[in-house]
Amino acid sequence: MSSIDKNNGKAWSTDEENKLIEELKTLNIEEIATLHQRTIGGIEARIRVIGCRLLQQGIKINDVCEMLKVSDTILQKSLNMRKKSSRLNHNETVITLLKDIRDLLNIIANK
């Protein structure tokens, strides 16, 4: 890992996200990545995360796109992926709980 992307994988703080939003007004992705010591992909991914969060807060998609300099297509795809992932995680949790209940019932039945 180079010094340019030494923050790769580190959690984003609220302050760092706010700086990113401000920097999008005047800088390109490469410049922002250098300033944050993150990869270009990391910056792009965080922009999508912020965009989804803003959409979920009820901010209009056109306003979010303008603020984050991203297309509505990219934001919509990101939002759909998050919803799908959330449903999958929920389904996996339910299946795990049902298996646990089954195992407990088997233990009770065998006593």
Q: Do the beta carbons of residue 23 and residue 32 sit within 8 Å?
A: yes
Predicted confidence at residue 90, as pLDDT, reads 67
Measure CA 66 to chain center. 19
Nearest 5°: phi and psi at 9?
90, -10
Tell me what percent of the residues of the chain surpass a pLDDT of 90.
57
pTM confidence score: 0.70
